[in-house]
Structure 1
Amino acid sequence: MKIIYAIVSSDDGNRVTDVLNEHQFSVTKLATTGGFLKKGNSTLMIGTDDGQVEEVITLIKDTCGKRQKITCNVPAPNIASVSAGYMMMPMTVELGGATIFVTDVERFEKI
């Protein structure tokens, strides 16, 4: 038995959970915060048999794969006096993706 920890953006958390549930995988979703960008994430915990790990990872990849979005760079609030002449420039940012950990489960009980 394995437990899969998948850290996805909070935007993708519900979609991934729904897809995994549709494929009969039980998921526990935790609201977490990333350390680097301090953005909201969802950490999904999925317990599964060894032979189904690749299926779970494929479903996660297909649901929250990396994608690009064009956004505008907004000035910080502490430079409001300078922002009158500040031009917002569109920039492309990468969204989505997942960080996945797979670990062995020594013992599992469902009570």
Structure 2
Amino acid sequence: MKLVIAIVQDDDSAELIDSVTEAGFRVTKLATTGGFLKAGNTTLIIGVEEEKVNYVISLIEDTCKKRKQIINTTTPITGNVDIFMSYPIEVEVGGATIFVLDVDQFIRV
């Protein structure tokens, strides 16, 4: 038994949960926040048999695509801490961070 933990962007989570449950897997959804953009993420926890791990990963890869997004960032103007300058930067968002862990014991009651 394996535990797949997938951290995905909120925009991809509903479609991914639908794909995973339609494929017959149970999934637990946790609301999380990313550190870089400080934006909402979703962490999904999926218990799977070892031989089905690659299938679950392919579902995640098919749903969670990387894309470019413009965000505004603020920087203090040198010499004056009370004045900030805002400027847009392009960042890559989406995709998924996936962890696959061994499960010593799985109990459903």
- Alignment TM class, shorter chain as reference: 0.7 to 0.9
TM-score by length of 1: 0.79
Map of 1:56 onto structure 2: 56
Map of 1:33 onto structure 2: 33
Displaced runs of 4 or more, over 2 A: 71-76
Q: Unaligned regions of 5+ residues in structure 2, if any?
A: 76-81
* SS of the residue 2:105 aligns to: coil
Residue in structure 2 matching 1:95, options 87, 93, 102: 93
Query: Match for 1:54: what amino acid?
Result: N
Map of 1:11 onto structure 2: 11
- Change over 3 Å in CA distance of 1:65–1:35 after alignment to 2: same
Partners in 2 of 1:98 and 1:20 — Cα distance?
A: 14
Map of 1:21 onto structure 2: 21
Map of 1:110 onto structure 2: 108
Following TM superposition, by how much is the alpha carbon of 1:75 offset from its aligned partner in structure 2, in angstroms?
Answer: 6.5
Partners in 1 of 2:42 and 2:35 — Cα distance?
A: 13
Following TM superposition, by how much is the alpha carbon of 1:72 offset from its aligned partner in structure 2, in angstroms?
Answer: 6.6
2:71·2:91 contact (CA, 8 Å) conserved in 1? Answer: no
* SS of the residue 1:24 aligns to: coil
The 10-residue stretch of structure 1 (50-59 or 33-42) with the greater mean CA deviation from structure 2:
33-42
Partners in 1 of 2:11 and 2:98 — Cα distance?
A: 17
May I ask how many residue pairs the two structures share in their alignment? 103
The 10-residue stretch of structure 1 (48-57 or 29-38) with the greater mean CA deviation from structure 2:
29-38
